[in-house]
């Protein structure tokens, strides 16, 4: 009876009981093997790369089993919340191609029947369960202020006892209804604590999806489940929400592993079935030859935003993460080069339990591979979208010269072995800038590349002669034989073999001639195939560039 009175005293406004809430959150109608997973970020800063990794695992586990993946915003810590935090996280997830079925969307809509999906909008629900625990004698109000807590800590230190609020040290464990009434009448703030029945001498055994079997001492701390502002703590909200939203598998960072005994206890006291948990180690960064954790403060590349700004396609990062999640992915990819990575089935028991390494070189290789499989139209669209946000100059050019750009991007793309040249969108402009007259002019105005092997007076002659004879219309063979004849005319070997047999007889070889042409046209000594490049540039531009070269070097 006194528990009942206490519950009414503390939560007079709460009329509902847990059954009322359960009826609003019926069990999901899903096939038995379907998994329900979630990503539950706190909007306290940028989405970090570890969060993205964990999210991808959760999303895959749900969708590969025809289940549901949802987002829940854990925003009960209002002090740590950053403005625009939720939108930022959602934008990053969209960029990286993570699709969620329920939760907040960028449109501002909350989708799904298990919401609201923001914890700050669920406090009415938490209060029903808080009242229930008080009514059952499983929780109690604690009026300790900082001073009281310090005193407890001090006494524990003096008597070398384990610190914390538990057992005989828990000052308000035995608080009566009358005492509570008095404290409330004085307007004293209070928290609600769980009345722990655990003992550190007993063990909880947990089978983690990633870490395997773990034995912990039971939780004996009377942890806070409601803060003085009436909002639940993370632990409590986690239990309520994951139960009501029907989560079957919780994949989260292993920093939460030490809280697991609390969570197991909470689910038990509340009479909820425990979801399966998989705790993943943080992604590691390679520094020199050693691995370390990403630092929130100094590692820009620890945020998802960094990869977006750099222009790694979202699906390239997804593809790379698949390699990190399960090493079997690589073999699958070799056998299935054309399939979307979503078709690969991940499994938690094959996951790296000690911290996967993010290796930039491998990420670049994966990204090059993935981009090489795209059509030039897709590359154009994605580059266009990216530049809109990150490179306005490039954006304008892409808008103005779409057809020309498509041709540039198609070089080396439509073959069985496409060029693997771009790892990220930010790399493309510097690599193709010379195709565009404005950027070429900017570059060449400070002079042409110096060619050691050829004297400039010869370069003049080569370009002069070549500008009169070149033709692109009759195909690659004719085009090349013209360069060869020009080489022979000017005292250069027609091919390498000829040159190597008698180098002293020649000024150089046909490759030197091609190099002079390349420099005149692009001011680069490395470009894609010269014939392809000239076809894209077109006669008029080629003639102008050769003229310019001769004028500058005369
Ligand atoms: N809000 C918690 C976090 O930010 C979620 C942990 C969990 O996934 O249960 O890490």
Does residue 40 lie in a domain region?
A: no
Q: Are residues 136 and 193 in the same domain?
A: yes
Domain containing residue 511: CATH number: 1.10.10.350
Q: Where are the alpha helices (DSSP H) in 218-259?
A: 234-244
Q: How far is the CA of 75 from the centre of ligand 1 (A)?
A: 10
What is the spatial distance between Cα 479 and Cα 469, in angstroms, rounded to a whole number?
Answer: 10
Nearest atom in ligand 1 to the alpha carbon of residue 251 is 8
Q: Tell me which of 263, 280, 297 is where a domain ends.
A: 280
Q: Are residues 264 and 138 in the same domain?
A: yes
Q: By alpha-carbon position, which residue is closest to atom 5 of ligand 1?
A: 40
Average pLDDT, the chain: 94
Both tokens of 44, joined, read: 């306290």
What lies within 8 Å, CB to CB, of 440 at 6+ separation is: 433, 434, 522, 523, 545
DSSP conformational letter for 55: H
Does residue 191 lie in a domain region?
A: yes
Ligand 1: residues whose CB is within 6 Å? Answer: 40-42, 74, 238, 250, 252, 256
Q: How far is the CA of 366 from the centre of ligand 1 (A)?
A: 29
Q: What is the pLDDT of residues 373-423, one digit of tens each?
A: 999 999 999 999 999 999 999 999 999 999 999 999 999 888 888 889 899
CB 224 within 8 A of CB 199: no
Range of the domain at 150: 4-13+124-280
* Exposure of 454 in the CB half-sphere (CA atoms within 13 A): 27
Q: Are residues 8 and 157 in the same domain?
A: yes
Higher pLDDT, 163 or 81: 163
pLDDT (average), residues 14-41: 97
Q: Are residues 241 and 347 in the same domain?
A: no
Nearest atom in ligand 1 to the alpha carbon of residue 256 is 6
CB 278 within 8 A of CB 250: yes
Look at residue 454 in the predicted model and tell me its pLDDT: 59
Q: Using the predicted structure, report yes or no on whether residue 1 has a pLDDT greater than 60.
A: no
What is the spatial distance between Cα 392 and Cα 172, in angstroms, rounded to a whole number?
Answer: 62
Apex 455 CA angle, 452 and 461, nearest 5: 135
Does residue 111 lie in a domain region?
A: no
Kind and range of the H or E run holding 225: strand 224-226
Q: Where are the alpha helices (DSSP H) in 18-164?
A: 18-24, 49-63, 85-95, 123-135, 146-158
Look at residue 452 in the predicted model and tell me its pLDDT: 67
Both tokens of 65, joined, read: 């089993």
pLDDT (average), residues 439-461: 84
CB 534 within 8 A of CB 542: yes
Q: Are residues 405 and 463 in the same domain?
A: no
Nearest atom in ligand 1 to the alpha carbon of residue 38 is 8
Does residue 133 lie in a domain region?
A: yes
Q: Are residues 382 and 368 in the same domain?
A: no
What is the spatial distance between Cα 549 and Cα 516, in angstroms, rounded to a whole number?
Answer: 10
Q: Tell me which of 249, 280, 311 is where a domain ends.
A: 280
Domain containing residue 291: CATH number: 1.10.1160
Look at residue 414 in the predicted model and tell me its pLDDT: 80
Q: What is the pLDDT of residues 185-209, one digit of tens each?
A: 999 999 999 999 999 999 999 999 9
Q: Tell me which of 228, 256, 280 is where a domain ends.
A: 280
Q: Are residues 9 and 129 in the same domain?
A: yes
Q: Are residues 161 and 253 in the same domain?
A: yes
CB 221 within 8 A of CB 166: yes
Domain containing residue 166: CATH number: 3.40.50.620
Q: What is the pLDDT of residues 250-304, one digit of tens each?
A: 999 999 999 999 999 999 999 999 999 999 999 999 888 888 999 888 888 999 9
Q: Using the predicted structure, report yes or no on whether residue 123 has a pLDDT greater than 90.
A: yes
**Maximum Cα–Cα distance for the chain, whole Å?**
111
Directed axis angle between helix 402-410 and helix 376-390, to 10°? Answer: 120
Does residue 221 lie in a domain region?
A: yes
Q: Using the predicted structure, report yes or no on whether residue 449 has a pLDDT greater than 90.
A: no
pTM: 0.90
The residue whose CB lies within 8 Å of the most ligand 1 atoms, and thus the one to mutate among 51, 210, 235, 238, is 238
Give me the torsion for CA of 194, 198, 199, 203, rounded to 10°.
-140
Q: What is the pLDDT of residues 220-252, one digit of tens each?
A: 999 999 999 999 999 999 999 999 999 999 999
What is the spatial distance between Cα 465 and Cα 197, in angstroms, rounded to a whole number?
Answer: 94
Both tokens of 280, joined, read: 């993943």
How many C-beta atoms lie closer than 10 Å to residue 323's C-beta?
A: 18
Q: Are residues 156 and 180 in the same domain?
A: yes
Q: Which residues pair with 418 in a beta bridge?
A: none
Q: Domain count for the chain, please give it.
A: 4
Q: By alpha-carbon position, which residue is closest to atom 10 of ligand 1?
A: 41
Q: Are residues 346 and 487 in the same domain?
A: no
Pairing between β-strand 357-358 and β-strand 284-287 as defined by DSSP bridges: parallel
Q: Are residues 361 and 273 in the same domain?
A: no
Q: How far is the CA of 25 from the centre of ligand 1 (A)?
A: 22
Please tell me the least confidently modeled range out of 124-133, 447-456, 478-487, 504-513. Answer: 447-456
Q: What is the pLDDT of residues 55-85, one digit of tens each?
A: 999 999 999 999 999 999 999 888 888 998 9
Apex 380 CA angle, 375 and 386, nearest 5: 130
What lies within 8 Å, CB to CB, of 204 at 6+ separation is: 215, 216, 217, 218, 260, 261, 264
Burial group, residue 94, by CB count within 10 angstroms (0-12, 13-18, 19+): middle
Rg (CA), the chain: 33
CB 457 within 8 A of CB 404: no
Q: How far is the CA of 42 from the centre of ligand 1 (A)?
A: 7
Does residue 138 lie in a domain region?
A: yes
Q: How far is the CA of 40 from the centre of ligand 1 (A)?
A: 5
Q: Are residues 362 and 397 in the same domain?
A: no
Does residue 21 lie in a domain region?
A: no
The residue whose CB lies within 8 Å of the most ligand 1 atoms, and thus the one to mutate among 43, 48, 119, 234, is 234
Q: How far is the CA of 255 from the centre of ligand 1 (A)?
A: 10
Does residue 69 lie in a domain region?
A: no
């Amino acid at each position: 009876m006194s528990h009942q009175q206490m519950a009414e005293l503390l939560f007079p406004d709460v009329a509902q009981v847990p059954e009322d809430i359960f009826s609003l959150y019926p069990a999901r109608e899903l096939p038995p093997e379907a998994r329900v997973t979630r990503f539950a970020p706190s909007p306290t800063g940028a989405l970090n790369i570890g969060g993205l990794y964990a999210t991808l695992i959760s999303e895959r586990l749900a969708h590969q089993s025809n289940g549901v993946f949802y987002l829940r915003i854990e925003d009960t810590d209002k002090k740590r919340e950053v403005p625009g935090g939720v939108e930022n996280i959602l934008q990053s997830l969209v960029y990286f191609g993570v699709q969620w079925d329920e939760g907040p969307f960028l449109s501002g809509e909350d989708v799904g029947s298990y919401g609201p999906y923001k914890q700050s909008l669920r406090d009415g629900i938490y209060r029903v369960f808080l009242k229930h625990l008080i009514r059952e004698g499983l929780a109690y109000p604690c009026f300790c202020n900082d001073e009281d807590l310090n005193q407890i800590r001090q006494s524990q230190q003096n008597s070398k006892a384990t610190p914390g609020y538990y057992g005989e040290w828990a000052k308000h464990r035995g608080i009566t209804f009358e005492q509570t009434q008095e404290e409330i009448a004085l307007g004293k703030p209070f928290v609600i604590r769980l009345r722990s029945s655990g003992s550190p001498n007993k063990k909880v055994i947990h089978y983690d999806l990633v870490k395997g079997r773990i034995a912990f001492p039971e939780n004996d701390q009377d942890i806070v489940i409601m803060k003085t502002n009436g909002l639940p703590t993370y632990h409590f909200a986690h239990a309520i929400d994951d139960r009501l939203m029907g989560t079957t598998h919780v994949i989260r960072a292993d920093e939460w592993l030490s809280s697991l005994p609390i969570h197991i206890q909470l689910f038990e006291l509340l009479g909820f079935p425990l979801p399966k948990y998989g705790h993943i180690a943080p992604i590691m960064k390679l520094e020199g030859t050693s691995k370390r954790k990403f630092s929130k403060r100094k590692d820009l590349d620890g945020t998802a935003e960094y990869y977006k700004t750099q222009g790694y396609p979202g699906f390239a990062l997804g593809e790379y993460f698949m390699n990190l999640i399960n090493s079997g992915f690589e073999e699958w990819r070799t056998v299935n080069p054309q399939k979307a990575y979503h078709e690969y089935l991940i499994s938690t028991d094959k996951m790296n339990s000690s911290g996967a390494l993010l290796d930039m070189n491998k990420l670049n290789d994966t990204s090059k591979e993935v981009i090489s499989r795209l059509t030039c139209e897709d590359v154009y669209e994605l580059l266009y979208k990216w530049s809109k946000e990150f490179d306005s100059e490039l954006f304008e050019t892409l808008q103005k010269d779409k057809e020309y750009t498509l041709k540039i991007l198609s070089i080396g793309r439509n073959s069985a072995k496409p060029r693997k040249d771009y790892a990220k969108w930010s790399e493309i402009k510097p690599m193709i800038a010379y195709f565009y007259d404005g950027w070429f002019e900017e570059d060449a105005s400070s002079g042409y590349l110096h060619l050691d092997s050829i004297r400039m007076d010869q370069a003049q002659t080569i370009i002069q002669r070549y500008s009169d004879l070149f033709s692109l219309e009759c195909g690659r063979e004719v085009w090349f034989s013209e360069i060869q004849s020009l080489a022979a005319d000017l005292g250069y070997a027609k091919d390498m073999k000829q040159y190597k047999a008698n180098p002293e007889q020649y000024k150089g070889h046909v490759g030197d001639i091609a190099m002079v042409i390349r420099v005149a046209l692009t001011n680069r000594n490395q470009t894609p195939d010269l014939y392809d490049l000239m076809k894209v540039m077109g006669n008029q531009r080629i003639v102008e560039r050769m003229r310019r070269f001769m004028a500058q070097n005369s």
